[in-house]
Amino acid sequence: MADKTQVTEDGKGQTTEVGSLTVTDNRTGSSYDIKIKEGTVRAMDFRQIKVDEDDFGLMTYDPGFSNTAHCRSAISYIDGEQGVLEYRGISIEQLAEHSSYLEVAFLLIYGHLPTQAELDSWLYQITHHTFVHENIKEFMNGFRHDANPMGMLLASVGALSTFYPEAMDIDDEYQWHVATIRLIAKMPTLAAFAYRHSLGLPYVYPDNELSYAGNFLSMLFKMAEHKYEPDPRIERALDVLFILHAEHEQNCSTAAVRTVGSALPDPFTAVAGGIAGLYGPLHGGANIAVVKMLQRIGSTENILDFLEGVKNGNERLMGFGHRVYKNYDPRAKIIQKHIDELLEATGKQNPLLDIGRELEKRALDDEYFTDRRLYPNVDFYSGVIYEALDIPTDMFTVMFAVPRTSGWMAQWMEWMNDPELKIARPRQVYTGARDVDYVPVEKR
Ligand code: SDX
């Protein structure tokens, strides 16, 4: 008879669901009670299950960690079935409607919405850390003219750790907060420098009179004018995009930050690991892959043929599907609300948008996709917005990395405070040869 789930109050008034499994090893007939807590069983509790004393014991095997929790976290909550995303319990819809990116960054990192005094201090600190050491410009100039901006960002953030060696003092929480401010403040500067380098344009220094998004637009696009004046509609749309991209629990890049961070380097190095994790087309690079996919489709007439290609495995519908969302990604819905207003602000029409909307409609009318619970994710429409902002395709993933820095730092800080923090060192199932003798080259 399975144990009924009990709910117990721990000392802090937290309720945790507990229970147990009783498993029988049919190889030996032995039974074991495995504790259930918060909907999980501890992998180490299976090591006791052996066939004899020499047996190492059972491990769990979970490539891609599809069903493995590697931490406990209170930062963001996703209900993939219902298409729910909350930051510190507040819905993404409310935050996109009422908040700002820097206020959301504070919420993610410090766990509560800031008072006015806290917000004023936070904005002041971020604004006054946007400059980077002049040597970074020399560093940037060393890249090829056509260097991928994501590669430049990855290298530059890693290099930041050499400019702030005090950040290696992991036991000093003051250094955590200084590094957090420096990273959130300097990511737009580094991203803009990478963009300007790719165009052979002079770097634009931060303008402390502008908002976070406005300053980023200025560093990207300011030319000969005395002062860059961002269009408020574009500024707001970018700030909302930053809110939507700020945090998303244990995705590939955040898991990379925690994995690198578990060896206790400085946080700049851990975030550089996150940038590396975000780079690929299955994760942060998907927004680039979506635009290239829509360009390849070329017109709405070609959509059905493309979808047939997806079904027979020759294509992948980029911007669709998600490890957690088995419903519509709520962020994709919010982005769509801003697209029409943004295109009006830029006075542009984007033919890729028409193809994207028709492609979404056809896919969601097709059982192949709905049976696999493949719906648009955050990357499906974000590229269309970046295109409308005249941001080049190879900058799209950089546009993802900038706001995700606050989520990475929130997760890193939570991990450094976690009593179960330990170095990440997964096991393997060894499938190779054993006890092979060395053969001299003349006998091979
Ligand atoms: C992000 O994790 C996060 O939170 C990430 C993110 C964040 O904010 O950090 O939300 C940001 O990375 C969004 C995802 C962006 N990536 C893409 O849009 C790339 C396209 N999507 C996929 O490659 C895929 O959906 C993943 C990688 C996102 C998720 O893959 P899973 O969970 O490993 O699912 P799966 O590959 O096992 O797919 C299940 C089935 C398979 O079919 P069968 O082999 O069972 O027949 O669905 C198929 C897959 O082949 N499938 C797709 C598909 N995605 C999955 N088929 C066609 N097109 C797709 N896009």
Written as six digits, the tokens of 111 are: 């766990």
Task: Check residue 2 and give its pLDDT.
Answer: 46
At 361-398, the pLDDT tens digits run 999 999 999 999 999 999 999 988 898 888 889 999 99
Q: What is the pLDDT of residue 295?
A: 94
Cα separation, 393 vs 375, in Å, equals 23
Q: Is the CB of 322 under 6 A from ligand 1?
A: yes
Measure 321 CA to ligand 1 centroid, in angstroms: 4
Q: What are phi and psi of 39, to 5 degrees?
A: 75, 15
How many whole angstroms from its chain centre is CA 153?
15
Tell how far the Cα of 325 is from the centroid of ligand 1, in angstroms. 10
- For ligand 1, atom 36: residue with the closest CA: 323
pLDDT in the model for residue 329: 94
Which residue, judged by its Cα, is nearest atom 48 of ligand 1?
372
Which atom of ligand 1 is least distant from the CA of 252? 2
Assess whether 379 carries a catalytic annotation. Answer: yes
- The pLDDT value recorded for residue 1 is 42
Ligand 1 atom, smallest distance to 323 CA: 32
Instruction: Give the Å distance between the CA of 186 and the centre of ligand 1.
Output: 31
* Residue ranges for the chain with pLDDT beneath 70: 1-15
Q: Where in the chain do CATH 1.10.580.10 domains reside?
A: 90-419
CA–CA separation, 3 and 33 (whole Å): 11
Determine the distance separating the centroid of ligand 1 and the alpha carbon of 365, expressed in angstroms.
19
Nearest CA to ligand 1 atom 3: 251
pLDDT 10s digits, 249-273: 999 999 999 999 999 999 999 999 9
Burial class (CB in 10 A: 0-12, 13-18, 19+), 365: exposed
- Please name the fold of domain 90-419: Citrate Synthase; domain 1 (1.10.580)
What pLDDT, on the 0 to 100 scale, is given for residue 6?
Answer: 65
Nearest CA to ligand 1 atom 22: 321
Query: Is the shortest distance between the CB of 321 and ligand 1 below 6 Å?
Result: yes
> What was the pLDDT predicted at 10?
61
